[in-house]
Amino acid sequence: MSKIISPDGHIGTLDYLKSIWASRHLAVTLAKGEIKNQSSMNLTGIFLNIIQSLIGLAVYWIVFGVAIGIDTGEISYPVFVLPGIFIWHYFSAITGYCSNCFILSQNLIEKLYFPRICIPLSKVLLGLVDFTIGFVLFVILFIGFGQSFTINWLAFPIIFTMIIICVSSIGLCISFISLFSMDTTRIAAQLTNFLIFITPVFYPDTIIPENFKFILYINPVAGIIEYSRWSLLGAPLPDCKYLIGIALTICLAISIFFIFKKYEKRITDLL
């Protein structure tokens, strides 16, 4: 069994998928190492994340729930807003991590070969820690505020899969762009700050006028948040136009996969 290394660097799709699967442990190890490293650095560790989420929740509750008084129907505001917060937080965290992941792992990339796609994917795993904390917090609040579970909860695994696909493709895109421009980190941070306002994170989509709603429809995160509200809170099924954003994400996921496949061997030299 011999292997040939040649300049064209072409990899078959199946071989590429196999090599990613073979290095799954590596992606998990990278994420694990970083989690351990982070959590051992400060004593508060995991509690800091919970406190952060709670403070964010309290601020949104006071500003949007109490002061502005956004109408969320029968669901009390903190329960309504929490799924939006932890899903949005996941997206913005991954955007941040992926915008400089290749630069931070430059040493590793120059010294070891593994499918480069593992680096942004390990960041997706890393973000799952906060996501899980947010979800557990949500379940506690959900029961605390006396909400009852509905059959729609069974659909959450599908939505969760969508979240992972969407987060991964956005993360991969950002990390790929960062190979060409050092400004990506700053631009990504600015964009996430701005995009939160055109995503129904702390308001229901019903308050958006009909002729502006197209912005939400093409926004994949908006669709995901709306569908998760439907699933977790029993809100009415969102407009099927939200599927546009989700379809766009799937297209993005497939194309970014092939772009990575094409550039796989060249990433070291691009850095």
Partner 1 sequence: MSPETAISIRNLSKEYYRAEKSSPFSRKSNKGTGFLAVNDISIDIQKGEVVCISGHNGSGKSTLLKMIAEVTQPTSGEIEIDGKVAAILEIGIGFQPEISGYENIFLSGAMYGLKKSEIEKKIDRIIDMFGFPEFINTPVKYYSSGMYMRLAFSIIVNIEADIYLFDEVTSVGDTEFRTKVTREISRLKSNNATILVVTHTPALFSRISDKFIIFDKGRISISKSIDTRNNMGKINNLPHISEDKLANLKEIHQDNISFDITDVSIKTLAIDMNCIFDEKMDICTTVNYDIDDSVLMLMTINDMLGNIIASSSIEIKIGSATSKEITFEIPSGYLKPSPISLGFEILNNEKKSLVSYPNIISTPYDNNDIWAGYIKMPIKVSER
Near partner 1 by CB under 8 A: residue from 13, 15, 18, 33: 33
Long-range residue pairs from 151-158, CB within 8 A, at least 24 positions apart, any chain = 152/230, 152/231, 152/232, 152/234, 153/231, 153/232, 155/227, 155/230, 155/231, 156/228, 156/231, 156/232
- Which of the residues 246 through 265 are near partner 1 (CB under 8 A)? 265
Taking CB under 8 A as the rule, does residue 4 contact partner 1? Answer: yes
Q: Which residue has the tokens 């579970």?
A: 149
- Which of the residues 68 through 97 are near partner 1 (CB under 8 A)? none
Taking CB under 8 A as the rule, does residue 181 contact partner 1? Answer: no
Q: Which amino acid is at 242?
A: Y
Q: Quick check: 62 and 70 in contact, CB under 8 A?
A: no
Segment interacting with partner 1, rule: CB under 8 A, options 5-13, 144-152, 166-174, 211-219:
5-13
- Please state, as a whole number, how many other Cβ atoms lie within 10 Å of the Cβ of residue 203: 19
Q: Using CA atoms, how far apart are residues 97 and 131, in angstroms rounded to an integer?
A: 14
Near partner 1 by CB under 8 A: residue from 93, 98, 101, 109: 109
CB of 132 to partner 1, least distance (A): 21
Taking CB under 8 A as the rule, does residue 43 contact partner 1? Answer: no
Q: How many residues belong to the chain?
A: 271
Look up residue 22 and give its two tokens: 């073979």
What is the SS3 string spanning 223-235? HHHHHHHHHHHCC
CB of 27 to partner 1, least distance (A): 10
Taking CB under 8 A as the rule, does residue 34 contact partner 1? Answer: yes
Taking CB under 8 A as the rule, does residue 14 contact partner 1? Answer: no
- Nearest CB to partner 1, comparing residues 18 and 241: 18
Taking CB under 8 A as the rule, does residue 36 contact partner 1? Answer: yes
Which of these, 176, 171, 145, lies nearest to 78 by C-alpha position? Answer: 145
Q: Within a 13 Å sphere around the CA of 2, how many CA atoms are in the beta-carbon half?
A: 3
Near partner 1 by CB under 8 A: residue from 10, 15, 18, 25: 25
CB of 181 to partner 1, least distance (A): 11
Taking CB under 8 A as the rule, does residue 186 contact partner 1? Answer: no
Near partner 1 by CB under 8 A: residue from 12, 14, 21, 37: 37
Binding site for partner 1 (CB under 8 A): 1-7, 9, 25-26, 29-30, 32-34, 36-38, 40-41, 107-113, 265-266, 268-269
